[in-house]
Structure 1
Amino acid sequence: MKTRLSLVGFVSLLCFLVTSCAMLGHAPQLDVSLVNLQFGESTVFETTLYATVRVQSEEPEPVLVDGAVHKLYLDGLNIGQGTASDRLEIPRLSSATQTVTLHLNNIAMATRLRDIIQSRRLDYRISSKLYTVVDNHSHTVHSKHEGTLDLNQFQTPQ
């Protein structure tokens, strides 16, 4: 009798866990890509870089990004990390852009800068962690994207 009750209890608990997980929903499918870079103010030790990222959603429902952390790598070198605390609403099956401020260490970049300037092209990788809300459920979404930048396309603020 005890074995039968234990089995019934175990099956009930298993059913509860499965339905609870289903009710939490799934983490949204998001892709983050680098759209533009603009250099800002500069001091001897630090340069401000404004990176515009595009967050694309494959979800049939709107997605709210309630903060993000983005790490940027140029030619394999981690050049900086930026955070975005403002909310970004992505319409269903669509995308939206957001500007992230990164502070670059000039001393770390000095040895690589000449090679980057001479090549006029460089490979990049952006590794992102997005804090999202879908149907009142919070999720953390990780995204990595790689590409190549043409330095001839850079814009500087006026």
Structure 2
Amino acid sequence: MGDALMAYLVARHGEFATIGGIEYPCAYLPKTNTVRLVSRAAENPNPELYRWNEQWKVWLGELPADRFERVVAVNSYARYQGHRCEVETVEPDGSAELIYADWNGAWARNNDFVQTDPGTYRKTVPVSELYDYHEEQVDLLFDGWRERNFARSAGDKP
């Protein structure tokens, strides 16, 4: 596997918000329709977005969601021996931590996945044994956009 691929192959998980063309890890708060940005950097990463929070000892930004171009939830997946798995991490040594994400727990147990919780099976494999690696993203602002732009039918509940 080439170095360029390893440099790009990062298992992303969580929520990310894009503002001004820059993507930040975040937490989307749907009840208030806000996006919370947190940074533990030594210096303020962006004074337009962050303020120091003394209580938590972090740079904190909480902004209305409509200021962001995108807010998405991201998970990374691949196929291992034909089965769908979530790729939790990709390590510098070329190993990947997998969580079995298919329907056959017996197959996972029989193929050396370790059950860590009911219905959760984990295994570390060489990244070279994975294929169909991809991210799945869910647009967290889509429902609100749809509500603002499209009428409901008479039978739909608000």
Q: TM-score, normalised to structure 1's length?
A: 0.24
Greater Rg, structure 1 or structure 2? Answer: 1
Q: TM-score, normalised to structure 2's length?
A: 0.24
The answer to which structure has the higher helix fraction is 1
Relative CO higher for 1 or 2, CA cutoff 8 Å, sep ≥ 6?
Answer: 1
The answer to which structure has the higher strand fraction is 1
